[in-house]
Amino acid sequence: MTATFLILAAITIAGTVATMAMRNLVHCVLALTLGFAGLAALYLQLGAQFVGLTQILVYVGAVAILAVFVIMMTQKPAQTTESIFSSFWLAGSLIAALVFAVLGWAIVSSSTSSRPLPPQAEAAVRPIGDALMHRFVLPLEIMGLLLTAALIGAVVVAMQEKRGTA
Amino acid sequence: MTPPPIQQADQIFVTLQHRVVGYLPIKFQSIADVILSVVAIVLVFALLFAITTVLERKGLGRIQNRYGPNRVGPAGFFQPIADGVKSLTKEDLVPRTADQLVHFMAPVLLVIAAFLAYAVLPVGRNMALVDLNAGVLFFFAVGTLVELAVFMAGWSSRNKYSLLGAMRAIAQMISYEVPLVLASIVVIMAAGSLSTVAIVNMQTGYSGIWPHWFVLTPWGFAGFNLFMIAATAESNRSPFDLPEGESEIIAGYYIEYSGFKFALFFLGEYLGMFATSGLAITLFLGGWAAPFSFLTWIPSYLWFFAKLLLMIAIFIWIRGTLPRLRMDQLMNFAWQFMLPMTLINVFAAGVWHFMPGGVIRWLVCAALLIVPAFLLSRGLKQGKKFAARTYRFAD
């Protein structure tokens, strides 16, 4: 529990809480981005450079921008006036607390948490690359194929729409 | 034993820093070390920005048959000081409907992101601030923060033009980031490392008098050109400066910024350009390595900045000579030409790696790149008419 960890944890929690509490949707996305960045900094602090930088590249760079685009294309920028709490917030928080308790109990009682951490836990880029290219090359290829299929599918859908309007 | 004077001159800043830090108590040494490097980076590149604005205005002036700034100081070289004073004393206008906090944060975030990128650039031998295991990845990761800053600026201004400009800028940056990253992958494949320091160290050897720069291979040459085209688009410079397009959307996402905030945007944009040029130098042009083996006596940092100034000169030249593209041309170029070419280039780099060295390897790899480039441009040209522009009223 170093000072760096506390500061980064505070930033992450503040960002994610603000995401739920803000009224303006674009503000929500910006706050969420702050949460993502705090999480990435936590990864970096743990020595996981590849994971941390990929988190910034994918979540701050792509997901946040995508979310902003979607909000601006689907919604009017009108602000909501109703309360940010829904009418059944009590039941919701009860369920959330229950889920958290189950997850926490599962983590604490699992055998992995009692095992001592390996001394050199730094996840360097080279071992990750080696693992992806040798041991896990088939899952990687399947993922790539799936994403390419999704990309082509999106283009096909967009093209049909264009033909319909023309 | 003292090292020879050439080596001393090469390492003068490194030794100086060690000296200064050595005077402090051990407890503060590591933090003082970092602060000194950061201050040096901020000062040097801000100064380079000031010099570049004069050079750019003078260069553009010469291209357009006029003088450019020539009033302040000798030959107009103190113009940036006058500009700085002017932007500091200007009123800072914020639109009444603007989102105050986001409007304020956008230029700050842009400049922070631009400066962060310099952390991994080796500007000389032993002169990188940090040698990250994943340095190139870090560079691209902080580069994405620029997109966010641009969006914040465009959205918070509550102005249709600035929102349009931000949309254009983000669409352009996301599209050109793909070829930018794919063009640099070939170097990562060849060097087998993501660390910028290791990549430069790979290129410091010489065969005879010729250096081992990656640009001197077929895939490196193609990669360098593709990288520079994508970098021009990434930094929103002419001919890819549609997000600013004065004639259509006035100044794009920074239309509602005045005074020093506008100057910060200007600074951020130029710093981004220097940083991507610096990465291009690191990846393809041997970083701080001298171009010929008999020139290694010139200190390494001078080589880096000489290459950087050369790149800036090319940027100014391109800005002065090429007209602005249209939005659909820009997007088609990114997805229909740049993307396939970078993928073919990755393939060519792989072939180069597995073929035995010699003339045949050169010919095969060059053919692998030139033939698809030729066919691709022929294919894209089909069904399009290219003729002299006709005007209805202006003739």
Over its C-alpha atoms, chain A yields an Rg (Å, rounded) of 21
Contact: B148, A60; criterion CB under 8 Å: yes
The SS3 call for residue B211 is strand
Q: Quote the pTM value.
A: 0.84
Write down the pLDDT at residue A132: 85
pLDDT in tens, B191-214: 888 888 888 888 887 887 788 888
Q: How far apart are the first and last CA of chain B?
A: 78
Q: Residue A154 is part of which domain span?
A: 124-166
Q: Cβ(B282)–Cβ(B196) under 8 Å?
A: yes
A62: chain B residues, CB-CB within 8 Å: 144, 174
B346: left (phi over 0), alpha (psi -120 to 50) or beta: alpha
Contact: B151, A65; criterion CB under 8 Å: yes
Note whether residue A108 is domain-resident: no
Note whether residue A87 is domain-resident: no
| Cα separation values, B21 from B17, B37, B87, B171, Å | 6, 11, 36, 45
B119: chain A residues, CB-CB within 8 Å: none
Note whether residue A103 is domain-resident: no
Note whether residue A119 is domain-resident: no
Same domain, A68 and A11: yes
Q: Give the CATH number for residue A39.
A: 1.20.120.1200
Residue B215: HSE in the Cβ half-sphere, 13 Å Cα cutoff:
19
Q: What are phi and psi of B94, to 5 degrees?
A: -125, 125
- Segments of chain B with pLDDT less than 50: 1
- CA B147 – CA B149 distance, rounded (Å): 5
- Segments of chain A with pLDDT less than 70: 1, 75-85, 113-123, 161-166
Write down the pLDDT at residue A77: 55
- CA A55 – CA B177 distance, rounded (Å): 16
Q: To which H or E segment does residue B264 belong?
A: helix B259-283
Q: How many A×B Cβ pairs under 8 Å? A: 54
Same domain, A135 and A68: no
- CA B386 – CA A13 distance, rounded (Å): 57
Number of domains composing chain A: 2
Domain boundaries of chain B, sorted by first residue: 5-376
Note whether residue A153 is domain-resident: yes
Contact: B141, A57; criterion CB under 8 Å: yes
Write down the pLDDT at residue A166: 47
Residues with Cβ within 8 Å of residue B134, at least 6 apart in sequence: A49, A50, A53, A125, B194, B195
Contact: A49, B174; criterion CB under 8 Å: no
Tokens of A59: 């979540």
Report the percent of chain B where pLDDT is more than 90: 5
